[in-house]
């Protein structure tokens, strides 16, 4: 890689994991974005954005404030929500390549007008949370035909890690599902019109901490994102 490219990472839990993972690609300069830094203006210097994992998205943002008490959602950070919705607004306006991971998938879907399942188990699905601190669950996913994710990974089935209790319910505007777990949970989404957006990929798993970093669901995903950023510079 001959160019140095700035990629903004939305700061959250285990932020260093994302930095280490993305830095496996040479020539990447990381810009930490966060409400604590109060640096929304830094997005202007970024050529790509990674939205990371962490707290639940406040359900009022997708029109279901009652979910807060109904599903006892107590892992909420409204300051982070507010800041990241602004980051997404700038990224969307500038058409920046964007990769959303776990919460990043969820808040991006909400930004685009979609909704969330507030608690997967309460909605009749199997448990997708981590088994214990530092140990993710593992499960299969199936990829839909004719998707960018399928093109990137070169497969129709894979094994991914899992550490979440919320998921996409209704897809946001312009998104299409690209992968699903055996119990029907949407595991990934991407922009439907690839010709009018350089790259918008949302995944529910954590590629940055997969045990097998050579997995196409980690390595090839990272390489495809960085390549999209390079082409967009």
CATH number assigned to the domain comprising residue 180: 3.40.50.880
102 a catalytic residue = yes
Catalytic option among 84, 187, 190, 208: 208
Catalytic option among 58, 139, 164, 206: 206
pLDDT at 1: 42
Structure tokens at 145: 């035909």
208 a catalytic residue = yes
Which sign, positive or negative, has the C-alpha torsion 107, 153, 132, 9? negative
Catalytic option among 84, 102, 187, 190: 102
CA within 13 Å, CB half, 211: 9
Task: Report the alpha-carbon angle 72-76-78, nearest 5.
Answer: 135
pLDDT tens by residue, 162-172: 989 999 999 99
The range of the structural domain enclosing residue 193 comes to: 5-232
Q: Which residues is 9 bridged to in the sheet?
A: 32, 50
> Which stretches in the chain have pLDDT values below 70?
1-2, 130-132
Question: Long-range contacts for 72-81 (Cβ within 8 Å, ≥24 apart)?
Answer: 73/118, 73/119, 79/35, 80/12, 80/34, 80/35, 80/54, 80/55, 81/57, 81/107
CA distance 109 to 170: 8
Counted domains in the chain: 1
Phi and psi angles of residue 37, each rounded to the nearest 5 degrees, phi first? -80, -20
Longest dimension (CA), the chain: 52
């Amino acid at each position: 890689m001959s160019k140095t490219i700035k990629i903004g990472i939305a700061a959250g839990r285990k932020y260093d994991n994302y930095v280490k993972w993305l830095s496996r690609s040479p020539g990447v300069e990381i810009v930490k974005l966060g409400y604590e830094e109060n640096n929304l203006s830094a997005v202007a210097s970024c050529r790509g954005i990674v939205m990371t994992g962490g707290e639940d998205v406040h359900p009022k943002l997708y029109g279901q404030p009652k979910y807060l008490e109904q599903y006892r959602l107590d892992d909420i950070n409204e300051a982070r929500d507010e800041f990241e919705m602004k980051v997404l607004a700038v990224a969307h306006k500038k058409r920046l390549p964007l990769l959303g991971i776990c919460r990043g998938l969820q808040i991006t879907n909400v930004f685009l007008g979609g909704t969330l399942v507030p608690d997967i188990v309460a909605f009749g699905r199997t448990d997708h949370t981590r088994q214990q601190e530092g140990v993710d669950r593992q499960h299969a996913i199936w990829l839909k035909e004719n998707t960018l994710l399928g093109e990137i990974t070169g497969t129709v089935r894979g094994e991914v890690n899992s550490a979440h209790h919320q998921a996409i319910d209704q897809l946001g505007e312009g998104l299409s599902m690209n992968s699903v777990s055996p119990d029907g949970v949407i595991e990934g989404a991407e922009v439907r019109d690839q010709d009018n957006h350089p790259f918008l990929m949302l995944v529910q798993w954590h590629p940055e901490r997969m045990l097998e970093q050579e997995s196409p669901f980690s390595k090839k995903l990272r390489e495809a994102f960085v390549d999209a950023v390079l082409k967009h510079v």
